[in-house]
Structure 1
Amino acid sequence: MVEGARRHEASTASGTRRYTALVPTQVARLLDEPAAAAALATYDGVLVGAAATPPSLAERAASAGVTLVPTYGMSETSGGCVYAGRPLPVSRVRIEDGRVLLGGATLASGYLAGDPAGAFVEDPAGSERWFRTDDAGHLDEDGRLHVDGRLDDLVTTGGLKVAPRVVEDALLRHVPGVREAVVVGAPDAEWGQVVSAALVVDTDGATRPPGLADVRSALRDALPAYALPRRLIVAADLPTRGPGKPDRSAIATWFTMGQ
């Protein structure tokens, strides 16, 4: 049921432990199939990376007995270096003005073509090197990392910043039938940008998909007024790039066509 996923086995004192690695879109679709969900539940852990794992998806997985382990990292850190919000023993995480910085033994030496953007930096004492990611994030009271989305994905509407991931999770939680949600900023003469949502909705053929008024009403108690979507598109599927990542640029063009 999880063909195409990478399978990993690790021997421990208590025996062999089994893991597989998926992207969130794959997890969501497998959870829709009872037999596939049961297969996932046989693993000791399902490593989830390449894109953000919505909290609502983690809750669905837990209800199905599936143990998700969100992973975070990139080529500059030799792959995953943060698991379930905790860095590896040899890795470091800190937040600077809302930006995630990664450090530690797995950090790359630099780029072959140089680093004109200054992505690799040293702390003021010169004792440690860091990689400045393009991700926004925060540490909770237990010190766990939460990635809030890419800095360049933030929507600035009326001078206020909206993290698309927060709105996307609210859509998945509170709007009936929503299976996939991507939120982008669309240009607007009055607000600068407006929060715009593209949805994939499960319907039985007799139920109409939600309209913008339905979505705003469903989210009114979950989000501040400025974060409520002002534009909406319901599609059969959403464009992706890479392993399950939504193509936000392509989706953003949907909201500018005809303007």
Structure 2
Amino acid sequence: MRVPVPAGTAVVLQTSGSTTGTGHLVALTGDALVASARATEQRLAGPGRWLLAVPAHHVAGLQVLVRSVVAGTEPIVVDTAAGFDPHRLAAAAARTDTATPGYLSLVPTQLVRVLAAGEEAVAPLRHLAAILVGGAAASPHVLAQARDAGLAVRTTYGMTETGGGCVYDGVPLPGVRLRIGDGERVEISGPTLALGYLDDPDSGAFAEEAGVRWLRTQDRGELLTDEHADVRLRVLGRADEAITTGGVTVSPTAVERVVVEHPGVAEVAVVGVADAEWGELVTAVVVPSAARADLTLTQLRALVTGRLGAAHAPRALVLVRELPLRGPGKVDRRGVARVAAKALEDPASHDGGADRGGGGRGVERHATGAS
């Protein structure tokens, strides 16, 4: 497919398409990328040296390169050709010096693996000025574990359309504005916005209002005021991910926030699986932690029921060794749904991560007709 490229385009990137299966082609200007890099410097400890441990053909990795150019430093590239290795990352981090702030971008799955690898993998990362964690929602337990281990983790929110992360720890970067539009949609403006979609220029995602360009995202959110009177963004989940079960609309993100509080859960994705009785079966697909022996569907249902109500509680649990990913660490929800559907259709074919002590208990389903 050939499409015209707008004047001023410096790079075209494809979004991950984690829910649709296909991504948009996004045109970004050099000015937008540099604006993002400079805003990041202002929010962090100034110009520094970056470690590149995420793919450079996605916006997070590209921004590591842009930030390095803006800072006048050479990035340290971590070899991930054979997959992400926490010890290889640690060796790269050991090459940074304390005279210049060191920075790193990771996706949540990478952070989980760093912490699981132990002290040898964690220690060299302690002197980094900031470790940006984005691309997907990170478990509060994992973030707390990282901070307890002495890592300066900062959560980021953003997307290819915003030139990468534009909200750090809930607070927009300098020059970035947020508002909540119809349907609780998060809307973003600022100098980091992309020119638009090459494959769908009339999508309506980008619009100008009173001379200001806004991006209407697919994310639901709310703006909260903290104890310092600062406004912070809380992302509630994707508008197009809602599960309808028994006539009730369930937010997967809300359920995931509760499920990850269980110590037996390292990572989780909640999806709907077609079901004759419920319409969609709320299904928790979980990467278990070392405490897997204590993890049961009954426990997760009790946890979620106590916080959100029984209708939101998972009716099925599928244990996996890892979640399907799309792009730079973003959970592939379509892939997760396929894994869940297959496991529920034929539990005997699902290994449930047997090499991690599953004892054959890879799939659990709540009794039909039970509350």
1:140 aligns with 2:228: no
State the distance in 2 between where 1:208 and 1:84 align. 33
Contact 2:281–2:316 (CA<8 Å) still a contact in 1? yes
1:49 aligns with 2:134: yes
**Larger radius of gyration, structure 1 or 2?**
2
Say which structure, 1 or 2, has more relative contact order (CA 8 Å, 6+ apart).
2
Contact 2:324–2:332 (CA<8 Å) still a contact in 1? yes
1:149 aligns with 2:198: no
Q: Which residue number in structure 1 is paired with residue 339 of structure 2?
A: 254
1:199 aligns with 2:286: yes
For 2:288, the aligned partner's letter is V
Q: What runs of 5+ residues in structure 2 fail to find an aligned partner?
A: 1-50, 55-60, 73-97, 347-371
Contact 2:188–2:214 (CA<8 Å) still a contact in 1? yes
SS at match of 2:302: helix
Q: What runs of 5+ residues in structure 1 fail to find an aligned partner?
A: none
Select the structure that is richer in strand.
1
1:37 aligns with 2:122: yes
Taking structure 1 as the reference length, the TM-score comes to 0.84
Q: Deviations over 1:221-256 (max 9, x none)?
A: 343222110111112322222222222112212333
State the distance in 2 between where 1:42 and 1:99 align. 37
Task: Spell out the pairing of 1:120-131 with structure 2 (5 A cutoff).
Answer: 120-123=206-209, 126-131=210-215
State the distance in 1 between where 2:286 and 2:321 align. 8
State the distance in 2 between where 1:69 and 1:202 align. 23
1:232 aligns with 2:232: no
Report the CA distance shift for 1:112/1:222 in structure 2 as closer, same or farther (over 3 A).
closer
| 1:137 to partner: Cα distance | 1.4
Report the CA distance shift for 1:55/1:161 in structure 2 as closer, same or farther (over 3 A).
farther
Q: Deviations over 1:159-210 (max 9, x none)?
A: 4333322322322212x42222111112233433231101122458xx7463
Aligned length: 251
1:162 aligns with 2:250: yes
Q: Deviations over 1:39-80 (max 9, x none)?
A: 222211101111112222221122112121112222222222
Q: Which residue number in structure 2 is paired with residue 241 of structure 1?
A: 326
Among residues 9, 12, 26, which one is paired with 2:110 in the alignment?
A: 26
Among residues 177, 181, 193, which one is paired with 1:107 in the alignment?
A: 193
Report the CA distance shift for 1:4/1:89 in structure 2 as closer, same or farther (over 3 A).
closer
Among residues 64, 89, 100, which one is paired with 2:149 in the alignment?
A: 64
Percent of pairs with identical residues: 43
Taking structure 2 as the reference length, the TM-score comes to 0.61
CA RMSD of aligned residues (A): 2.7
Select the structure that is richer in helix.
2
